[in-house]
Amino acid sequence: MDNVEYKIYIDDVIRRVEKARLKVSEYHIVKIVAVSKYSTAQDIEKLYQIGQRAFGENKVQDLKTKAVELEELPLEWHFIGNLQKNKINNLLDINPTLFHALDSLELAHELQKKLETRDMTLDALLQINSAKEESKHGFMPEIAKEAYEEIKKECPNINLKGVMSIGAHTEDKDIIKKSFETTYEIYKQLDGATICSMGMSGDFELAIECGSNMVRLGSIMFNK
């Protein structure tokens, strides 16, 4: 696709986001994070040229490579994947805008130590395993609020901003909806939380209707 065609294509995605958010309220603003994990730096640049600024990766090494390659551009980098402890320093080197997948107390404490040493802070979201799937990371819904408060208290260099969740892995819309509602219920109970990151290419409209204000769109943004 050339740039004009690409713009028409992306406008359609934006229109779908608009339609879904207006069902919630005209004041409900939704941010799109373009997940570039299956895409090249060239693809990212193309999206940048038509106005996209926030990009997400799920592997620290890929994030680093692309962030370095595109360092001339004023991009916002989100890390949305599972973070292994031995990759923390690599992630902090990039100083990402937001880490979406804080999924254990152990990781929080490890992050806190590294952040303290570097005298820096990190904005992060608590990942919630709202559908309770074994294949997924994240806190179980029952303990999420308590964990959030514990991290807030014990890890002053982590700025918890809200929650992240991946919709239930099923074709059943009701079950997916329920998983989003579970996450949103927790989000609403958290003191000072402003970001509810949920919704991917296959389910973002439903996620927005359930209260999401940040969607992570990969395949649909890059036409893959």
Ligand X SMILES: *Cc1c(COP(=O)(O)O)cnc(C)c1O
Q: Is 122 in the site for ligand X (CB under 6 A)?
A: no
Q: Is 218 in the site for ligand X (CB under 6 A)?
A: yes
With contact defined as beta carbons under 8 Å apart, do 196 and 187 qualify? Answer: yes
Q: Is 217 in the site for ligand X (CB under 6 A)?
A: yes
Q: Is 201 in the site for ligand X (CB under 6 A)?
A: yes
User: In sequence order, what are the beta bridge partners of 35?
Assistant: 56
Binding mask 66-105 for ligand X (x = CB under 6 A): --------------xx------------------------
- Of 20, 21, 37, 44, which lies in the binding site for ligand X, with binding defined by CB under 6 A? 37
Distances 150 to 64, 109, 119, 211 between C-alpha atoms, Å: 30, 11, 21, 25
CA-to-CA distance for 89 and 135, rounded, in angstroms? Answer: 26
Stretch that binds ligand X, among 115-123, 134-142, 152-160, 200-208 (CB under 6 A): 200-208
- For ligand X, the closer of residues 97 and 219 by Cβ is 219
CA atoms in the 13 A half-sphere facing the CB of 184 = 18
Q: Is 121 in the site for ligand X (CB under 6 A)?
A: no
Orientation angle between helical segments 173-189 and 141-154, nearest 10 degrees: 30
Chain residues that interact with ligand X, rule: CB under 6 A: 35, 37, 58, 80-81, 166, 200-202, 216-220
